[in-house]
Amino acid sequence: MLKKHKLFFSADNMAGAIPAAHVNPDTLSPETGKPFSRLTVFRFLAAFVIYAVLNNAAFTINGGNLLPQHLKDVGMVNPTAAYGIITSVTSLVSLFAGYIWGTLSDRTKSRFGKRTPWIFWGSIVAGIGLYLLGSFQTTLNLTLAYCFNTLGQNAIQTPMYAFLADRVPKNVRGTLSAGLGATSVGLPIGQFISSYFLGQSYQNVGFIVGGVLIALSGLLALAIIPREPSSKTADFQQGKGIRDVLITLLPPKFEGAHDFYKSCAGRFLIMTSYTMVMQYLLYILENYLGQSTLAAAQSMNRLSMFTLVVSLVGLVISGPMSDYIKRRKMPIISGGILMIIGTLVPLFVKSTNGIIAYAILAGLGYGVYLAVDGALNMDVIPEQAKIDKNTGKYIGFSNLTNTLGLTAAPMATSFIVTATNDYTLAFIVSIAATVIGIFFILAIKNVK
């Protein structure tokens, strides 16, 4: 059993054992009731970073960069609109998949634990789905392949975030949340890798690379993270009839979860804001600045390096600082302000340097925000949900709002660009979304 694992401290092993009455409950793991050792913190952090970096790098390679170019290469009449349709339909599927998988993982009985089987099989399915994006040429087939991928991706993502709530002590939750926030590092790495495939005769090899990376994101994390305890004998105290299962799929009650819903609203808006611009960065370089495909690929290479550095800075500083000052809202708001300033630049500086300034400022802000976002979303989960051991339901719903942002972003940008034939209004709407999102975060009462 994990409770006896040598990587966890026991009260007897702690030098000068502290009476139980004086132990800070924030330092105790919800899973074991004991503090984490430094090695255990490192293993969780390493697993979360590997998952986040590889996972988002794979998405950026296949879905963010190679797929838009693939749509042009196969002769799509309106590749921008086709890309909007594919990503929007896929995101709609993801809305339900993440929430349902999270709820069902709460009830999973397995000798490998209730989250691990979902992550394992989800990794395989997600890898196949991303690979298939390079094999089809119609909007319908590409949409189906992307939907297949997102079913697997959500089976990885929601249980992985559930580890943060189920197993991690509150006093290191910000630091380990920064590990999951390393998706902001995965994005420039994905841009850098894809720049070597864009416009080349071997461009489709990039889809294979992306498929392998997303599969490894879950499998390697499971190999590093301390093993989850068996849930075969767990008593979830829930009925087994169809009606009981359907009840568990209902959204969390608003009563007693006001802060949770405010956090979800803020997350939706800030994620929408960043994705509206970043997901269309290749098209912005080509259509807003007028660069050729190869020139845009070279620009993406440069942008990825800037974004990688600033994202790392944001993550390294923001997560641990949040734990140190015991504040979640301040880093998130600071990150949002940097994103606003960064998005303003391309409106007034319509050049490659303007886009570079956007990548630096918005990338830094996104790194600062994302490092603490996971911890905030865990902290606002009602205590009763933790007692009832159905945190996966709340995490799934929280990720649903995240996916809503990913759904709204391509739809909004596609609609705006199609209607105006320009990206100016997209920048303005992105800024407005961040401003409103910050107000929702400020409205949270029970988390500082």
What the block records as the tokens of 410 is 């391509």
Confidence bin at 260 (pLDDT 50/70/90): confident
Among 301, 320, 413, which Cα is nearest to 372's? 320
pLDDT digits (tens, 9 = 90+) for 12-42: 343 344 444 566 777 887 777 888 888 988 9
- As a dihedral over the C-alpha atoms of residue 185, residue 318, residue 154, residue 227, rounded to 10 degrees, the angle is 100
For 8, phi then psi, to 5°, come to -105, 140
Classify domain 36-230+239-442 by CATH number.
Answer: 1.20.1250.20
Q: Are 152 and 129 in contact (CB under 8 A)?
A: yes
CA dist 23 → 18, 20, 27, 44, 423 (Å): 7, 5, 8, 22, 55
Q: Is the pLDDT of residue 70 over 70?
A: yes
Among 270, 311, 255, 257, which Cα is nearest to 441's? 270
Separation between Cα atoms, residue 389 and residue 109, nearest integer Å: 13
Which is higher by pLDDT, 243 or 361? Answer: 361
Confidence bin at 390 (pLDDT 50/70/90): low
Q: Residue 435 has what pLDDT? A: 95
Q: Are 296 and 286 in contact (CB under 8 A)?
A: yes
Q: Is the pLDDT of residue 273 over 50?
A: yes
What the block records as the tokens of 82 is 């086709």
Verdict on whether the full-model pTM lies above 0.85: no
Report the length, in residues, of the chain: 448
Average pLDDT, the chain: 82
Among 275, 319, 281, which Cα is nearest to 299's? 281
Among 345, 407, 339, which Cα is nearest to 373's? 339
Rounded mean pLDDT, 58-78 = 84
Separation between Cα atoms, residue 144 and residue 152, nearest integer Å: 13
Separation between Cα atoms, residue 111 and residue 203, nearest integer Å: 42
Q: Is the pLDDT of residue 10 over 50?
A: no
Separation between Cα atoms, residue 226 and residue 223, nearest integer Å: 8
Among 56, 24, 30, 319, which Cα is nearest to 176's? 319
Separation between Cα atoms, residue 288 and residue 303, nearest integer Å: 16
CB atoms within 10 A of CB 302: 16
Q: Residue 337 has what pLDDT? A: 94
CA dist 309 → 184, 198, 243 (Å): 10, 23, 50
Report which listed range, 175-189, 223-237, 359-373, 382-396, is most confident: 359-373
Percent of the chain with pLDDT over 70: 88
pLDDT digits (tens, 9 = 90+) for 336-379: 999 999 999 998 988 888 998 998 999 899 888 888 887 787 78
Separation between Cα atoms, residue 128 and residue 153, nearest integer Å: 11
CA-based R_g, the chain, Å: 21
Q: Residue 244 has what pLDDT? A: 54
The DSSP string of 322-337 is HHHHT-SHHHHHHHHH
Separation between Cα atoms, residue 110 and residue 121, nearest integer Å: 14
- As a dihedral over the C-alpha atoms of residue 435, residue 260, residue 228, residue 57, rounded to 10 degrees, the angle is -20
* Beta-carbon-side half-sphere exposure of residue 441 (alpha carbons within 13 Å): 28
Rounded mean pLDDT, 289-307 = 81
Q: Is the pLDDT of residue 416 over 50?
A: yes
What the block records as the tokens of 309 is 């550095």
Q: Residue 3 has what pLDDT? A: 42
Q: Is the pLDDT of residue 7 over 70?
A: no
| Burial of residue 417 (number of CB atoms within 10 Å: 0-12, 13-18, 19+) | buried
Q: Residue 144 has what pLDDT? A: 93
Q: Residue 241 has what pLDDT? A: 47
Q: Residue 185 has what pLDDT? A: 78
Q: Is the pLDDT of residue 251 over 70?
A: no
Separation between Cα atoms, residue 266 and residue 269, nearest integer Å: 5
CA dist 218 → 51, 62, 152, 442 (Å): 6, 17, 10, 34
